[in-house]
């Protein structure tokens, strides 16, 4: 029996020796598979019915046939590049002949590119998932060795089902993600400690934070190069970094790799300002002279991190630790989809790694303490599609909601073609395009940018479909995606690392399919500057030196006087995004924003002074001032005594003092203005939109006892001091809610952080806006959900509350989630209460329900259920995928939530929405149905008690005596 190490060593040698058909057979011989003779071949035209695909194939070899049921095929193709669409079509055709499964090896004639593909076919959903390991024999990665080693079998007599399980386990990309994360974290922590020692806390305040940020920044820069070298943009060399490193080793220089080689690559070559260096060999000078003009901010020197702190990294650390780590992984520029999974490090994996990293970094001891969990691409796709279909429905009146759902959710070529042709015949596609061009989307807790990337990919796919029907338009992936980022997408996150990773993800998406010539790569900056699109800041609290100024930008006079300046500023931001604003940097534009802000503060101060003057006159005798009654009418206040007037005067004077202090601070060069929604995204709120069209995201899940300012570090305070900081921050959150939407809806002290994101996020929408979050489902059932339930019922038209009984959305997170879709909270109470909200429980994974038929049926299910008609529940809309659809008027939820207190006053109490309408056992509904004639209400026969395990699930105790009588 061979050891694991011996197997890996032999596999490595065999992979590096791949050069002909026989070498593939040798590999599988060693892996202990019963291989056939190379003469077992098939003619593609006879084996595959599709002539178009068979013409691309030279020959098909049968390497092995396990238990005479599961074959391993080697398919030699004519094309030098193996396209995914071709592999998918051929795989589907081969599976028709081999229903028990297969393992396929695709290779070109010279065996320069070898793709080992494991197809997993789901007969029920008719969906084919391809897991692929792409191998370059000249560049074998550790992942290649490990995956192939893991399909080694000890016993040739194993049943084909057991061997298929071995393959399934070996081609699991999650294992690659976990290993990459563990090793990345080790490198990250190692570098961070080095940087802390270089600039210790006793010399530098925030030393830990700066070290943390620079470790992220440096690794981001390196990782981006590992991705783009796969595009052959650096001397057509897929392994440019290794070439660069080997040249340095041969140069004879010592301790100059970081300062004189890497920094020149980062800040000169990628910014199109490289000058030849005497210490570079001619080949390196030539490569860097022709390097792509990236720009974008990633390769721009950071004033504090790069220049002021001047961190350094030794040659030994770079050569023996950092580069070996990156070199051991295959980086692929194609981001995986649910049905196309490459067993490699893709851009989405980078997002997962970073969001996992934040939960255990920055001196956090408990996994998940930061409350940040990566949202899987399927949930992202579902939420994006729900949001866009509702947005289109809100803005286009002459297209049916059914057709809009079909347009957005169509997921196969036939269905896409049918709906697109129908809409084109009716001259509706252009109308859809105009609305999609105009859409404004924000993720207020964007993390590593998964929703921004999801929206960009979805919008670009729609544009690609629409452009097919317009002869005047052409589709270029890079141009379309860049325009979408520029016009449609915005993000905010309190974490500096998150902003940078979100930028990295969007940049990678831009270059994935980009096919630009060398001249084009150098003629203009390839990466847009995202500084004003994704911003760092606290989405919930916007303060200036501890003061919330309660800024109101709705004043028509201010908007009128500032509109011209704002339009001009927005034009300059667009030019900056495109890297076309010469001689102006980010700081200059931020100063212009601050100038705009100061103008508003001065206008507000002028208004307060006018109000103060009137109030002060009112405290004088009538002969000396205006009539007392006139003052009251002027200010519309019920201030009937001098003391109340004086209190109001004092309050206004304090507010004026705060404004003066803020203006003074803003004018100071050293002062960095904090994030503020109406300043940083002023064009959204003050020009045409007056709010975002879509607010979407996965806000951090932080329990109430852990809520604290994200940028403060617990270790900088004593235990009592930290307790005070947390209490003050939570009080600010509650006061902000009171100020924005009223005391009535203020969450109690037990509310988790995501509740505040609900209430603040809804305020960011314009009147036709759409809101979609994935969060813990606890607000549906527990006490602190009271305020948000009441607010939603009275102010918001809720569309969907979606649950899934098959799978938890957040792997590794001990929380159950729901996906919600709401409309903007700018409706009358009566209209909100008349709205029908649909509680939907899927019993299959979300990737199995993402189709137009299901969501069209759910949309149509509008049976109105009242207290007297609970038995009209729809419980089996689609027995294959949906467990329950429960449409219910908000009015009935509202009535059912009220109780009478001891003083005879009706008060809304938290209702058990999840327990009743999503997770209730079948007996719950059986009782309702049996009680149809007698109109027996549930509360007459059952007592609902909170579950003792999760805190959110419900147990139902039926009263036997009541059931007998009933």
Confidence at residue 925, expressed as pLDDT on a 0 to 100 scale: 60
Encode pLDDT of 642-680 as tens digits: 677 778 888 888 888 888 888 888 887 666 778 888 888
Confidence at residue 216, expressed as pLDDT on a 0 to 100 scale: 85
Asked whether residue 8 carries a pLDDT value surpassing 60, the answer given is: yes
Confidence at residue 637, expressed as pLDDT on a 0 to 100 scale: 46
Query: When comparing pLDDT for 472 and 461, which is higher?
Result: 461
**Confidence band (pLDDT; 50, 70, 90) for 701?**
confident
Q: 640: Cβ–Cβ under 8 A, 6 or more apart, which residues? A: 632
Provide the percentage of residues in the chain whose pLDDT is more than 90: 35
Backbone angles phi, psi at 842, to 5 degrees: -90, 145
Average pLDDT of the residues in 221-241:
87
- Partners of 837 in the beta sheet? 888
Confidence at residue 711, expressed as pLDDT on a 0 to 100 scale: 73
**Confidence band (pLDDT; 50, 70, 90) for 821?**
very high
Note whether 218 and 262 are within 8 A (CB).
Answer: no
Average pLDDT of the residues in 472-481:
85
Helix (H, G, I), strand (E, B) or coil at 727: helix
Note whether 277 and 261 are within 8 A (CB).
Answer: no
When mean pLDDT is compared across 171-175, 314-318, 636-640, 852-856, the lowest value belongs to 636-640
Asked whether residue 409 carries a pLDDT value surpassing 90, the answer given is: yes
Q: What mean pLDDT value characterizes the chain?
A: 82
Residues in the chain: 966
Note whether 102 and 163 are within 8 A (CB).
Answer: no
**Confidence band (pLDDT; 50, 70, 90) for 591?**
confident
**Confidence band (pLDDT; 50, 70, 90) for 962?**
very low
**Confidence band (pLDDT; 50, 70, 90) for 772?**
very high
**Confidence band (pLDDT; 50, 70, 90) for 389?**
very high
Asked whether residue 932 carries a pLDDT value surpassing 70, the answer given is: no
Confidence at residue 120, expressed as pLDDT on a 0 to 100 scale: 86
Average pLDDT of the residues in 572-587:
86
Average pLDDT of the residues in 389-398:
96
Confidence at residue 358, expressed as pLDDT on a 0 to 100 scale: 59
Q: What DSSP state is assigned to residue 946?
A: E
Average pLDDT of the residues in 226-248:
88
Confidence at residue 599, expressed as pLDDT on a 0 to 100 scale: 84
User: Tokens in use for 529?
Assistant: 């500057």
Note whether 732 and 548 are within 8 A (CB).
Answer: yes
The secondary element (H helix, E strand) that includes residue 694 is strand 692-697
Q: How many CB atoms lie under 10 A from the CB of residue 638?
A: 7
**Confidence band (pLDDT; 50, 70, 90) for 362?**
very low
Asked whether residue 297 carries a pLDDT value surpassing 80, the answer given is: no
263 Cα distance to chain centroid: 31
When mean pLDDT is compared across 298-312, 806-820, 857-871, the lowest value belongs to 857-871
Q: Which of 209-218, 253-262, 358-367 has the highest mean pLDDT?
A: 253-262
Buried-state track 410-441, b at ≥16 Cβ within 10 A, e below 16: beeeebbeebbeebbeeebbebbbebbeebbb
Q: 292: Cβ–Cβ under 8 A, 6 or more apart, which residues? A: 228, 233, 234, 270, 521, 522, 526
Encode pLDDT of 487-514 as tens digits: 999 999 988 878 888 888 888 888 776 7
Q: How many CB atoms lie under 10 A from the CB of residue 113?
A: 17
Encode pLDDT of 67-115 as tens digits: 888 999 999 998 766 777 888 888 888 888 888 899 999 998 889 889 9
Q: Please state, in angstroms and rounded to a whole number, the distance separating the CA atoms of residues 801 and 770.
A: 14
891 Cα distance to chain centroid: 34
Asked whether residue 936 carries a pLDDT value surpassing 80, the answer given is: no
Return the residue matching tokens 């998932």: 129
Query: When comparing pLDDT for 344 and 71, which is higher?
Result: 71
**Confidence band (pLDDT; 50, 70, 90) for 696?**
very high
Given phi > 0 = left and psi -120 to 50 = alpha, else beta, which region is 861? beta
When mean pLDDT is compared across 686-690, 772-776, 887-891, 925-929, the lowest value belongs to 925-929
Confidence at residue 360, expressed as pLDDT on a 0 to 100 scale: 44
**Confidence band (pLDDT; 50, 70, 90) for 835?**
very high
**Confidence band (pLDDT; 50, 70, 90) for 372?**
very low
Return the residue matching tokens 């005596």: 961
Note whether 745 and 737 are within 8 A (CB).
Answer: yes
Q: Please state, in angstroms and rounded to a whole number, the distance separating the CA atoms of residues 716 and 888.
A: 50
Q: Which of 39-43, 323-327, 550-554, 812-816 has the highest mean pLDDT?
A: 323-327
Provide the percentage of residues in the chain whose pLDDT is more than 70: 83
Q: Please state, in angstroms and rounded to a whole number, the distance separating the CA atoms of residues 106 and 130.
A: 13
Q: Which of 159-173, 312-326, 682-696, 904-918 has the highest mean pLDDT?
A: 312-326
Asked whether residue 630 carries a pLDDT value surpassing 60, the answer given is: no
Give this prediction's pTM.
0.80
């Amino acid at each position: 029996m061979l050891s694991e190490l011996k197997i890996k060593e032999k596999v490595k040698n065999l992979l590096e020796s791949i050069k002909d058909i026989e070498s593939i057979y040798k590999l599988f011989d060693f892996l202990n598979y019963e291989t056939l003779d190379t003469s077992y071949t098939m003619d593609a035209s006879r084996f595959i019915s599709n002539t178009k695909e068979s013409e691309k194939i030279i020959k098909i070899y049968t390497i092995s046939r396990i238990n005479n049921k599961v074959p391993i095929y080697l398919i030699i193709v004519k094309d030098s590049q193996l396209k995914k669409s071709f592999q998918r079509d051929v795989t589907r055709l081969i599976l028709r002949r081999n229903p028990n499964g297969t393992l396929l090896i695709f290779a070109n004639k010279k065996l320069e590119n070898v793709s080992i593909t494991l197809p997993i076919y789901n007969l029920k959903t008719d969906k084919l998932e391809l897991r692929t390991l792409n191998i370059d024999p000249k560049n074998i990665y550790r992942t290649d060795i490990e995956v192939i080693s893991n399909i080694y079998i000890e016993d040739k007599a194993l049943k084909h089902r057991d061997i298929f399980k071995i393959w399934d386990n070996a081609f699991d990309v999650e294992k690659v993600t976990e290993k990459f994360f563990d090793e990345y974290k080790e490198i990250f922590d190692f570098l961070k400690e080095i940087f802390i020692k270089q600039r210790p806390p006793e010399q530098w305040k925030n030393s830990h934070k700066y070290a943390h940020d620079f470790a992220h920044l440096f690794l981001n820069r390196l990782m981006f190069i590992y991705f783009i070298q796969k595009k052959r943009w650096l001397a057509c060399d897929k392994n440019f970094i290794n070439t660069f490193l080997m040249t340095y080793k041969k140069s004879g220089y010592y301790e100059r790799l970081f300062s004189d080689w890497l920094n020149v690559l980062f800040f000169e070559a990628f910014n199109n300002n490289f000058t030849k260096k005497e210490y570079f060999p001619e080949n390196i000078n030539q490569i860097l002279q022709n390097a792509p003009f990236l720009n974008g901010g990633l390769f721009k020197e950071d004033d504090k991190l790069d220049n002021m702190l001047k961190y350094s990294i030794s040659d030994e650390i770079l050569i023996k630790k950092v580069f070996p780590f990156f070199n051991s992984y295959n980086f692929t520029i194609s981001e995986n989809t649910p049905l196309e999974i490459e067993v490699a490090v893709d851009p989405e994996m980078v997002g997962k790694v970073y969001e996992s990293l934040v939960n255990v970094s920055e001196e956090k001891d408990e996994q998940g303490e930061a409350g940040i969990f990566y949202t899987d691409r399927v949930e992202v796709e579902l939420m994006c599609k729900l949001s866009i279909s509702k947005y289109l429905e809100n803005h286009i009146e002459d297209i049916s909601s059914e057709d809009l759902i079909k347009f957005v959710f169509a997921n196969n070529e036939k269905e896409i073609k049918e709906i697109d042709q129908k809409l084109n015949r009716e001259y509706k596609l252009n109308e859809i395009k105009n609305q999609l061009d105009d859409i404004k989307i924000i993720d207020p807790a964007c993390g590593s940018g998964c929703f921004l990337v999801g929206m960009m990919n979805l919008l670009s796919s729609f544009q690609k479909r629409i452009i097919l029907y317009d002869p005047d338009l052409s589709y270029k992936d890079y141009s379309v995606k860049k325009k979408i980022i520029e016009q449609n997408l915005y993000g905010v996150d309190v974490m500096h690392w998150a902003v940078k990773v979100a930028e990295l993800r969007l940049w990678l998406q831009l270059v994935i399919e980009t096919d630009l010539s060398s001249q084009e790569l150098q003629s203009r900056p390839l990466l847009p500057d995202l500084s004003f699109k994704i911003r760092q800041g606290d989405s919930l609290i916007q303060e200036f030196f501890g003061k919330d100024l309660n800024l109101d930008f709705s004043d028509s006079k201010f908007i009128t006087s500032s509109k011209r300046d704002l339009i001009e500023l927005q034009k300059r931001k667009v030019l900056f995004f495109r890297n076309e604003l010469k001689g102006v940097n980010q700081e200059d534009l931020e100063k212009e924003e601050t100038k705009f802000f100061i103008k508003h503060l001065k206008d507000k101060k002028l208004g307060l002074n006018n109000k103060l003057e009137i109030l002060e006159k009112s405290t004088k005798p009538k002969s000396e001032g205006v009539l007392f009654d006139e003052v009251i009418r002027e200010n519309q206040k019920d201030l009937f005594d001098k003391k109340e007037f004086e209190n109001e005067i004092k309050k206004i004077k304090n507010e004026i003092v705060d404004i003066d202090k803020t203006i003074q601070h803003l004018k100071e060069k050293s002062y960095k203005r904090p994030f503020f929604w109406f300043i940083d995204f002023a064009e959204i709120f003050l020009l045409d939109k007056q709010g975002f069209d879509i607010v979407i995201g996965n806000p951090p899940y932080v329990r109430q006892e852990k809520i604290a300012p994200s940028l403060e570090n617990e270790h900088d305070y004593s235990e009592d001091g930290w307790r005070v900081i947390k209490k003050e921050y939570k009080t600010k959150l509650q006061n902000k809610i009171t100020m924005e939407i009223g005391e009535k809806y203020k969450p109690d002290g037990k509310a988790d952080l995501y509740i505040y994101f609900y209430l603040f996020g809804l305020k960011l929408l314009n009147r036709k806006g759409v809101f979609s979050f994935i969060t813990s489902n606890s607000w549906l059932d527990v006490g602190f959900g009271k305020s948000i339930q009441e607010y939603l019922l009275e102010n918001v038209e809720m569309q969907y509350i979606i649950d899934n009984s098959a799978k938890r959305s957040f792997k590794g997170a001990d929380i159950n989630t729901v996906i919600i879709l709401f409309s903007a909270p700018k409706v009358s109470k009566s209209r909100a209460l008349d709205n029908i909200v649909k509680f939907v429980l899927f019993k299959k994974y979300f990737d199995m329900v993402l189709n137009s038929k299901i969501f069209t049926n759910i949309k149509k299910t509008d049976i109105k259920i009242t207290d007297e008609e609970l038995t009209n529940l729809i419980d089996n809309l689609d027995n294959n995928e949906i467990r329950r659809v429960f449409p219910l008027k908000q009015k009935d939820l509202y009535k059912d939530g009220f109780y009478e207190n001891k003083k005879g006053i009706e008060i809304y109490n938290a209702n058990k929405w999840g327990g009743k309408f999503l997770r209730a056992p079948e007996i719950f509904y059986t009782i309702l149905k049996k009680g149809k004639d007698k109109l027996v209400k549930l509360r007459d026969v059952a007592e609902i008690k909170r579950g003792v395990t999760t805190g959110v699930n419900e147990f139902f105790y039926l009263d036997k005596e009541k059931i007998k009588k009933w």
